[in-house]
Amino acid sequence: MPSYTPSPSPSLSASPAPAPARLDVAADLLALLRDTRTEPRPDPQLEALTLAVSADLPVLLWGEPGIGKTAALTQLADTLDLPLTTVIASVHEPSDFSGLPVIGDDPAEQGVPLAPPDWAVRLVRQGRGLLFLDELSTATPAVQAALLRLVLERRIGSLRLPADVRIVAAANPRASAADGWELSAPLANRFVHLQWAHDHEVVIRGLGGTWPRAVLPRLDPALLPGAVDRARRAVCGLLTARPALVHRLPGTETRRGGAWPSPRSWDMALSLIAFATAAGSDRDVLSLLVRGTVGDGSGLELLAWLDRMDLPDPELLLADPVHAELPERGDRRQATLEGVVEVVKSLLTEDRWNAAWALLVRAMETGAPDLVVVPATTLAALRREDWDVPEAIERLAGVVSMSRRADRSMARAAKERTGAGR
């Protein structure tokens, strides 16, 4: 019989494409998606974070999940050229931060040393780095207690982290954290608290391939002594006038888990004011840093105190009112003019009174005219009967009367709206 040889099956003769080749294509696509660039962009959040890290203060970023806290830390580590070590606080035991007991040959003679975890050993070997404690608000109270010494003293067991290691943590508000806890007051008071929010323009531009780049603050060496002096005068001056602010523990558990005033946090605020001053940071950045250390209420009082400190000397303004340099910002300009009127009132002479009028004219010519209305009204009431009316009053009379007419018109309109509502 003739022999039969089966023909090869098509499925056996056709060689399928190897799986790695398909994954290589996927890898190419992923590489294209990850191919992004950065650009310098003013960002008060990033600047405040960078300044606090430069000041070697522990920072805690508060924000909703997925808002970009981890990405900001990764980018900051790249900018600072620091190795990034991420530790998820909530998945560790207290002994992971306080040190693991290791029994030696003779515990009664040698004691029981506390061995540090491997990531701490790596940081010491590197000599520098950025330690990122993530998910801090999901760490149990026992773990938070173990973190106290790490955050403040940089110690883990018998190991001390190098001076060039910076600590940044991140947390979600308790309402949006998985099995979240409020931060304990002792741990919270060791951090600079920064509220992290997204900027939709930054997100859109970043998804298009361009993300903002953290820029290292440039501290001006010539400004360092003045920056320290300014910071000390501000904090010490405020606390001298308001001694109750030195230590004020909040009454609720939630507020104790944030920024609040204590000698420790005032010391951090002093350092941050000095750094922000030496870097030439604007008020928005300074506000984030100050309120992030001593809380909103005390922070706003400190900012107001700084504003008053930075106002020009009223006596110098009165000495040369025609060429006086007044603050550009409206609230500071009005505070300056009102301060001048107060010093004239405290030592009232005709020459000082006339100089104040000349200064108000200067203010009207170089800024918003309505800012001189209140000081001009107060100054006019100080006139003695035997004093001549200066020419400056006539130049300001139109501004004052116009402002008063506008006030009366607004009052009438409000009254008519109230009557119509009835």
Instruction: Flag whether pLDDT at 282 surpasses 70.
Output: yes
Kindly state whether residues 352 and 295 are assigned to the same domain.
no
224-233, 348-357, 410-419: segment of lowest average pLDDT? 410-419
For residue 195, give the nearest of 100, 60, 82, 74 by alpha carbon.
60
146 and 196 in a single domain? The answer is yes
Split into its structural domains, the chain has a count of 3
What's the predicted TM-score (pTM) here?
Answer: 0.75
Both 138 and 153 in one domain: the answer is yes
Kindly state whether residue 163 falls inside one of the protein's structural domains: yes
The reply to whether 45 and 135 lie within a common domain is: yes
Domain-terminating residue out of 282, 310, 338: 310
Q: Give residue 329's domain range.
A: 314-421
Tell me the pLDDT tens digit for each residue of 239-250.
Answer: 998 999 999 999
CA angle 97, 100, 102 (to 5 degrees): 160
pLDDT in tens, 6-64: 555 555 555 555 556 777 888 889 999 988 888 888 888 989 999 999 999 999 999 88
pLDDT at 356 over 60: yes
DSSP 8-state class, residue 163: T
Q: Which long-range contacts link 337-340 to residues 24+ away (Cβ below 8 Å)? A: 337/363, 337/371, 337/372, 337/375, 338/374, 338/375, 338/378, 339/311, 339/314, 340/314, 340/375
For residue 407, pLDDT beyond 50: no
Does residue 408 sit within a domain? Answer: yes
Within a domain: 1? no
**Domain boundary, last residue among 281, 310, 339:** 310
Provide the pLDDT confidence category of residue 104 given band limits of 50, 70 and 90.
low
Q: Rounded mean pLDDT of 316-329?
A: 89
Q: What pLDDT is stored for residue 2 in this prediction?
A: 52
Other C-beta atoms closer than 10 Å to the C-beta of 43 total 18
**Structure confidence at residue 17 (pLDDT):** 54
327 Cβ contact list (under 8 Å, min separation 6): 311, 312, 333, 336
Same domain? For 265 and 288 the reply is yes
Say yes or no: 287 and 393 in one domain. Answer: no
Is 268 part of a structural domain of the chain?
Answer: yes
173 and 129 belong to one structural domain: yes
Choosing from 213, 244, 260, the residue where a domain stops is 213
Evaluate whether residue 417 is within a structural domain: yes
Query: How far is the C-alpha of 77 from the C-alpha of 33, rounded, in Å?
Result: 21
Return the structure tokens found at 276: 């922000």
Q: Based on the fold, state whether residues 412 and 340 are members of the same structural domain.
A: yes
Residues 277, 226: contact at Cβ < 8 Å? yes
Report if residue 198 sits inside a domain.
yes
Instruction: Look at the block and give the residue holding tokens 């509502």.
Output: 421
- Nearest Cα neighbor of 72 from 46, 48, 38 is 46
138 and 273 fall within a common domain: no
Q: Which helix (H) or strand (E) holds 193?
A: strand 192-195
The predicted structure's pLDDT at residue 398: 63
Distance in angstroms (rounded) separating the CA atoms of residues 138 and 143: 10
- Looking at the structure, do residues 86 and 195 belong to the same domain, yes or no? yes
Query: Could you give the percent of the chain with pLDDT greater than 90?
Result: 40
Phi and psi for 15 in degrees, rounded to 5?
Answer: -85, 120
Confirm whether 80 is domain-assigned. Answer: yes
- Average confidence score pLDDT of the chain: 84
User: Are β-strands 59-62 and 164-171 bridged in parallel, bridged antiparallel, or unpaired?
Assistant: parallel
Say if residue 60 is in the same domain as residue 203.
Answer: yes
> Residue 38's beta-bridge partner residues?
211
Residue 19 falls inside a structural domain: no
Please indicate, yes or no, whether residues 238 and 368 belong to a single structural domain of this protein: no
Q: Which of 78, 73, 77, 83 is nearest to 122 (CA)?
A: 83
Please state, in angstroms and rounded to a whole number, the distance separating the CA atoms of residues 302 and 299: 5
